[in-house]
């Protein structure tokens, strides 16, 4: 995952690998680009990863993702590095299940040219790819934009950037939740993982019942005086219990 497609399919020697790391990793850590598919409301409906397909049908990791100096012009173009591909900038296009979405001309996205304008290769009436597909966020697909931005630009918007990693073509992935669609992520604020202080803070009465149940599980039943809390602890499986013992104890509690 560190080298990615940079070895051209030929395995680096140990010396070449060390030289590659010495040259590329500092630049990659400093100049990482975050790629997302953003709705008009500002939600990142899709965070692009190394295996995410472009309109040209090649993956994000097959595009230029490392820059010694970040370009000043916006939007930042990430051209495809596959020989003969006319794609000049990474452009995410969603899938309808497992198949490409259709254009207004009724042809699939992969039946259009990846060159600028996205003209249809099958018919002459199409003026350029334009889909009526609707994203799960409720906005149409053509209203979304593929956004390429720096770490500083994302921080200025309050969006997560995760930890600095040396892996190639990570795009917008910052954690496990990045694999989910925008409307499904629990962290709607975009601030990322909670701080250590927040995780270590005591569970209050206004917190989620799930947190309160697990908070009380660490307290011995002998020290509990509240009947409701004792019932919550009793309903939890103990580490040494098998299924028979657990369900038998739960039955006795109800009797």
* Number of Cβ within a 10 Å radius of residue 47: 27
pLDDT digits (tens, 9 = 90+) for 130-180: 999 999 888 999 999 999 999 999 999 888 888 888 888 888 998 888 888
Identify which of 79, 14, 93, 100 has the alpha carbon closest to the alpha carbon of residue 48. 93
- Report the C-alpha gap between 238 and 166 in whole angstroms: 41
Pair 248, 254: CB distance under 8 Å: no
Per DSSP, helices labelled H in 173-237 are: 196-200, 209-217, 227-234
pLDDT digits (tens, 9 = 90+) for 85-96: 999 999 999 999
Mean pLDDT of the chain: 82
pLDDT score recorded for residue 195: 67
Cis peptide preceding 75, ω within 30 of 0: yes
pLDDT at 229 over 50: yes
pLDDT at 200 over 70: yes
Q: Which of 42-46, 78-82, 202-206 has the lowest mean pLDDT?
A: 202-206
pLDDT at 214 over 60: yes
- Quote the pTM value: 0.69
Higher pLDDT, 190 or 3: 3
Give the residues across from 112 on adjacent strands: 120
pLDDT score recorded for residue 17: 85
pLDDT band for position 209 (50/70/90)?
A: low
pLDDT at 221 over 70: no
* Number of Cβ within a 10 Å radius of residue 228: 8
**DSSP character for 12?**
P
**DSSP character for 242?**
-
pLDDT score recorded for residue 19: 87
Q: Looking at residues 202-213, what average pLDDT do you find?
A: 69
């Amino acid at each position: 995952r560190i080298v990615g497609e940079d070895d051209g399919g030929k395995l680096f020697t140990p010396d070449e690998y060390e030289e590659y790391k010495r040259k590329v990793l500092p630049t990659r850590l400093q100049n990482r680009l975050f790629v997302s598919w953003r709705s008009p409301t500002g939600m990142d409906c899709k965070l692009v990863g190394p295996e995410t397909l472009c309109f040209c049908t090649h993956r994000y990791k097959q595009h230029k993702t490392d820059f010694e100096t970040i370009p000043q012009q916006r939007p930042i173009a990430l051209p495809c590095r596959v020989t003969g591909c006319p794609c000049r900038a990474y452009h995410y296009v969603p899938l309808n299940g497992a198949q490409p979405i259709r254009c207004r001309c009724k042809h699939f996205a992969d039946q259009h040219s990846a060159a600028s304008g996205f003209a249809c290769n099958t018919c002459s009436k199409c003026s350029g790819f334009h889909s009526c597909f609707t994203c799960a966020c409720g906005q149409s697909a053509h209203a979304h934009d593929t956004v390429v931005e720096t770490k500083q630009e994302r921080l200025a918007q309050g969006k997560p950037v995760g930890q600095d990693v040396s892996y190639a073509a990570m795009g917008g992935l910052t954690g496990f939740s990045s694999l989910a669609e925008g409307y499904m992520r629990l962290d709607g604020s975009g601030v990322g993982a909670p701080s250590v202080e927040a995780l270590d803070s005591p569970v209050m009465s206004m917190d989620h019942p799930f947190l309160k149940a697990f908070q009380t599980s660490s307290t011995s039943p002998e020290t509990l005086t509240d009947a409701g809390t004792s019932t919550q602890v009793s309903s939890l499986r103990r580490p040494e219990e098998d299924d028979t013992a657990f369900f038998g104890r739960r039955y006795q509690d109800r009797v």
